[in-house]
Amino acid sequence: MMKTLKFKLYQHKRNRFLKRSINAAGVIYNHCIALHRRYYRMWGKHLNCAKLQAHIAKLRNRFEFWQSVGSQAVQDICQRIDQAYKLFFKHKKKGVRPPGFKKVKKYKSFTLKQAGYKFLGGNRVKIGSRVYQYWNSRDIEGKVKTLTIKRTPLGELFLVVVVHSAGEPEIKFTTGKIAGFDFGLKTFLTCSDGSKIESPQFFKQSLNAIKIANRHHSRKLKGSSNRERGRKNLVRAHEDITNSRTDWFWKLAHELTDRFDLLCFETLNLKGMKRLWGRKVSDLALRDFLNILEWVARKKGKQVVYIDQWYPSSKTCSCCGHVLESLDLSVREWRCPSCQSVNGRDENAARNIQTVGASTIGLGDVRLAMPAIAI
């Protein structure tokens, strides 16, 4: 199982060498993009990755600035660009765009794989010829696969370590409970047992602070130190929102995995929902929550399953299975014409998601197989 660990580097004047390496990686990245575009104009196909790596290796001997980036990081840049172009040529009819140029001062990171770094024990790591200290918040257990130096918009540096640990936990059902969840704009998640989870909507709460920080930043003279100070204040406001939302997601994920063994969700077209409802869908950040939930569930031996987004979960009666021909989005409650039961839109959808999700892993009809579960 692959794990990603993140550590913050101590603030030190020697960190400027890492920032210089990130800038050099940005220059190399833009040079590779320019070579790809020129090659495509001439030959009508993308540049071979091995040829590009050999060409960049020769150029590194000519430019001293490029030598601040390790050879492993340069190879990783070429491989990522090659993969991006392969995806573009494969899915360009679906709207996938080719990789483009990036501003060097906004370039974020570089990655080292087999060489170029060494952990010295404690909280020290050797990158290149220099030793750096980091906040050792947890032990690194397993084989280190990659080390990424990442720069935030505030100029802080982080170590992102990908570790391979042996074995994955088997799926163990400890509580014997299954739950389905329906995502909504007014209610973040509606559970099949009738409980509802409201989102704090962190961006909406901090919208006034964001507006004020944005206004102060835009009024400062471009290129001045005051404008840079205003930019950092704006970045801090956005980071506070992100950190608060992520903290709430982790706590909610642990709470749900402690209550249920099998959690069922419906796959949704979030990009299409953003086009309709915009900022509110982004503020709820369902995909980010599901990524965290999948990680926590895998760690605890629980399971997260998804049902098809085209399954009529809202139009199907959870009592008798009758399916309506149409159901307008404004209708929040409807009566089944077959069994005359009254169904709340979100609660009914959550119960149907629970039933279908349980059937996908071979548990059959949960209404019969597990009568202790409230549905």
For the segment 130-159, the average pLDDT, to the nearest whole number, is: 92
Neighbours of 25 (CB within 10 A): 25
- Quick check: 374 pLDDT over 50? no
In this structure, of 43-52, 211-220, 280-289, 361-370, the range with the lowest mean pLDDT score is: 361-370
> Is there a domain that residue 374 lies in?
no
> Is there a domain that residue 57 lies in?
yes
Q: Pick the last residue of a domain from 103, 133, 164.
A: 164
What local confidence, expressed as pLDDT, does residue 222 receive?
93
Q: 29-32: which pairs have CB atoms within 8 A and are 24 or more residues apart?
A: 29/77, 29/81, 29/102, 29/107, 30/101, 30/102, 30/104, 31/56, 31/59, 32/56, 32/77, 32/78, 32/81
> Is there a domain that residue 375 lies in?
no
pLDDT tens per residue, range 299-357: 888 999 999 888 888 888 888 878 888 888 778 788 888 787 888 888 888 988 988 88
Q: 85-91: which pairs have CB atoms within 8 A and are 24 or more residues apart?
A: 85/36, 85/46, 86/46, 89/46
- Residues 188 and 295 reside in one and the same domain: yes
What local confidence, expressed as pLDDT, does residue 134 receive?
94
What local confidence, expressed as pLDDT, does residue 110 receive?
93
Confidence band of 363 (pLDDT split at 50, 70, 90): low
Check if the beta carbon of residue 264 is closer than 8 Å to that of residue 178. Answer: yes
Q: Pick the last residue of a domain from 130, 164, 198.
A: 164
pLDDT tens per residue, range 269-313: 888 888 888 899 999 999 999 999 999 998 888 999 999 888 888
- Residues 203 and 258 reside in one and the same domain: yes
pLDDT tens per residue, range 152-203: 999 999 999 999 877 655 556 678 889 999 998 889 999 988 899 999 999 9
> Is there a domain that residue 172 lies in?
no
- Residues 143 and 191 reside in one and the same domain: no
What local confidence, expressed as pLDDT, does residue 141 receive?
85
Q: Backbone dihedral region of 95: left (phi > 0), alpha (psi from -120 to 50 degrees) or beta?
A: left
- Structural domain span for residue 236: 178-369
What local confidence, expressed as pLDDT, does residue 370 receive?
35
> Is there a domain that residue 28 lies in?
yes
For the chain, what percent of residues have pLDDT higher than 70? 94
Could you tell me which of 118, 155, 149 has the C-alpha nearest to residue 7? 149
What local confidence, expressed as pLDDT, does residue 369 receive?
34
Start-end of H helices in 44-162: 49-62, 71-91
Pairing state between β 262-266 and 303-307: parallel
- Residues 183 and 119 reside in one and the same domain: no
What local confidence, expressed as pLDDT, does residue 314 receive?
82
**pTM (2 d.p.):** 0.83
For the segment 70-89, the average pLDDT, to the nearest whole number, is: 91
Q: Pick the last residue of a domain from 129, 164, 199.
A: 164
For the chain, what percent of residues have pLDDT higher than 90? 51
Number of domains present in the structure of the chain: 2
- Residues 144 and 198 reside in one and the same domain: no
Number of helices (H), then strands (E), in the chain: 11, 14
